Amino acid sequence: MEILEEKPIVLFILDTLEIGGAERSILEISSRFKRYKPIVVTLFKGSHLKEEYVQRGIKVISLDFEKETKQTFLKTELDKIVSSIKPLVIHATLIRSCLLSREISRSHEYVLINSLVNNTYGMQRYKTLSPIRALKLFYTQIKDAKSSSKVDFYFSNSETIKKTTSSALGLNPGKVKVIYRGRDPEIFDQVNIEKQPSNSGKNHIDLYICVGRLIKRKGQLDLVHAFAEHLIKFPDSKLILVGEGPLRKELITKITRLNLKDKVELLGQRSDVPELLSKSSYFIFPSYYEGLPGALVEAMYSKTPIIASNIPENLECINKETSLIFEPGNIKDLVSKMEMAKSIDWNGKLDLAYRKALTDFSIYKIVDEYELTYDQLLQR
C-alpha cells in the first residue's frame, strides 16, 4: 500500500477573517494550492469568511481575542500553535499580524514571509491623517523598520507597494517579490457569455457601479458628490455602491442631504459582483491609495468600462488606452470623465483591459507563483 507523503504546511496569520481584500485573496489563493497544505490562524474576533474557508477545506484556528489584547499574550498563544503544527512556512499579512509574526519563537526551522498589501506608509496616506494619527503611524513605521530584519522574505501585491514600502522601511528590494492579486477568469467568462446587450432605447438608464469597502480612502464620498452634479445633465442615471464599512452612516447622510435616495443605492456586501458588473454601464473607482485593487481587476475581466483615479496602484492595472483616468479628489475632473464616457467607443479599450487581466491577474498564475516561491525559499 502506497503511503502518501504529507504536504508541507503553510501557516497564514491574519488579524481576522472579516471581509477585506487580503482575507479574500488568501482564500482564493490558498484553496487552490496543490503542493502545500494551508492552515489559517486569526488573532482577533471577526469571522465573516470563516465558513467559506472551512467549506474549501482550509483549517482555521480562531483565537478570538479582543483587539486590546497584549502582544506578549498573543505571542504565547501563537508559540503554542507553531510548536504543535510545525509549519515550514509562516506567512503573515496586515501590519499587526506581521509585527507579531516576527516575535514567534524559532523552536524549529521555518521560512517567515510577510505580505505587503497596502500603501501603509505612502505620503498620500499621511496627508489624510490628523497630526496625532500621523504621529502614531510614524511610530508604527519605526517599529516595522526595526524588526524587518527578522523577516526572511516579503511578498508585495504591486510594484508601487514594493517601491514605497522598501523605501519607508529600508528593505533590500531583492528580498521583496511582486505577486499580484488574482481572480478566476472562468467566473467572468461565463457571466460575459450570458451578458445581455444594453438597451439604448427611450427607457435606458445608465447604471454606475463602485465596488469597495466603505472607508474614506476609497473615495465614495467624492463619487456621490460628483454623481449629484452628473445627474443635472444626465438624470437617467443610477449609482450602486457595493461593499460595507464604517463610512456607511456618513454616506447615507450625504445621499439624503443631496436628495439622491432614488438615485444612489447602498447594496452592502454581495457575492454576485460578476453579475452586477455585467449589468452595469460603467465601473467607477475613485480611491486615494490602494494595494493592488482587486475590484478593478474584476471590472477588467467583466469588460465593464472603467473610470478610475490616477493613483500609481491603479495605473499598474489600467492606463489611458484601456480606461478613463481622473485625479483623485478632483470632483470636476470626475464629472467631466463621467460625461466623456458616454460618447467614446469603448470596444477596443475593453478588449485591451481584458487581455491585460488575463496576462497578469489570472488566479491560476498567481497560485503557481506562490508555490514556486515557497519551493525556492525552502531550498535555500
| CATH number (domain holding residue 97) | 3.40.50.2000
Stretch 329-333: mean pLDDT, rounded? 97
pLDDT of residue 1: 44
pLDDT of residue 199: 47
- Give me the domain span that covers residue 293: 185-360
The answer to whether residues 337 and 228 touch, using CB atoms and an 8 Å cutoff, is no
- Helix, strand, coil percentages (3-state) for the chain, rounded to 5, are 45, 20, 35
Stretch 309-335: mean pLDDT, rounded? 97
The answer to whether residues 94 and 258 touch, using CB atoms and an 8 Å cutoff, is no
My answer on whether 78 and 96 are in the same domain is yes
d(CA 318, CA 346): 14
My answer on whether 217 and 263 are in the same domain is yes
Query: pLDDT class for 201, splitting at 50, 70, 90?
Result: very low
My answer on whether 342 and 322 are in the same domain is yes
- Please report whether residue 346 resides in a domain: yes
Nearest-10 Cα torsion for 33, 270, 309, 358: 40
Query: pLDDT class for 202, splitting at 50, 70, 90?
Result: very low
Stretch 201-224: mean pLDDT, rounded? 89
Output the CA–CA distances (angstroms, integers) from residue 135 to 23, 93, 126, 210, 290, in the order listed.
Answer: 27, 23, 9, 32, 21
My answer on whether 329 and 371 are in the same domain is no
My answer on whether 285 and 318 are in the same domain is yes
Sequence-separated (6 or more) residues with CB below 8 Å from residue 82: 11, 90, 104, 105, 107, 110
| Distance in angstroms between the alpha carbons of the first and the last residue of the chain | 33
Into how many domains does the chain fold? 2
Give 189 or 320, the one with higher predicted confidence.
Answer: 320
Q: Which three cell numbers stand for residue 228?
A: 449629484
Stretch 164-169: mean pLDDT, rounded? 96
pLDDT digit string, tens, across residues 268-285? 999 899 999 999 999 999
My answer on whether 254 and 199 are in the same domain is yes
- Please report whether residue 3 resides in a domain: no
Helices (H) and strands (E) in the chain, counts: 16, 13
pLDDT surpasses 60 at 200: no
pLDDT digit string, tens, across residues 216-252? 999 999 999 999 999 999 999 999 999 999 999 999 9
pLDDT of residue 20: 84
pLDDT surpasses 50 at 300: yes
Backbone angles phi, psi at 77, to 5 degrees: -65, -40
pLDDT of residue 105: 87
My answer on whether 100 and 24 are in the same domain is yes
Q: Which of 82, 81, 274 is nearest to 195 (CA)?
A: 274
Mean predicted lDDT score pLDDT of the chain: 94
My answer on whether 99 and 222 are in the same domain is no
Backbone angles phi, psi at 155, to 5 degrees: -105, 135
My answer on whether 235 and 336 are in the same domain is yes
d(CA 143, CA 103): 12
- The DSSP call for residue 150 is G
My answer on whether 268 and 346 are in the same domain is yes
